[in-house]
Amino acid sequence: DIQMTQSPSSLSASVGDRVTISCRASQNIDTYLNWYQHKPGKAPQLLIYGASSLQIGVPSRFSGSGSETNFTLTITSLQPEDFATYYCQQSYIIPPWTFGQGTKVDIK
């Protein structure tokens, strides 16, 4: 299986901060990398697909970059509604598709 490792596992930030979350794959996955936001009690939401393509309806403050084994999700100006857990997910090899362990973003 391809292992996905996110860092940090959690972070505290303030509204308006720039936030960066990293995701590392255990092998080259090209740009077969997606990012999701998950809030407690809610359905996960797709943010970014293909490492850098913004899903329709997602605010432009979210962006993704990277290729091969190293990827980044950036939130340029954190908003109150952005406090959530973020997951990366590889779709290079199936089965199984694998998620990172998640990065929880909470209020400082």
Partner 1 sequence: EVQLVQSAAEVKKPGEALRISCKGSGYGFTSYWISWVRQMPGEGLEWMGQIDSSDSYTKYNPSLQGHVTISVDKSISTAYLQWSSLQASDTAIYYCARTTYTGRNSGNLYYFDNWGQGTLVTVSS
Q: Which residues bind partner 1 (CB under 8 A)?
A: 30-32, 34, 36, 38, 42-46, 49-50, 53, 55, 85, 87, 89, 91, 94-102
Of 15, 27, 29, which is closest to residue 105 (Cα–Cα)? 15
Shortest Å distance, C-beta 42 to partner 1: 8
Q: Which is nearer to partner 1, 5 or 17 (CB)?
A: 5
* Segment (H or E) for 62: strand 62-67
Smallest distance, Å, CB 15 to partner 1? 25
Q: Which is nearer to partner 1, 16 or 41 (CB)?
A: 41
Query: CB within 8 A of 7, min separation 6: which ones?
Result: 21, 22, 24, 103
CA atoms within a 13 Å half-sphere pointing along the CA-CB vector of 103: 26
62 vs 87 by CB, closer to partner 1: 87
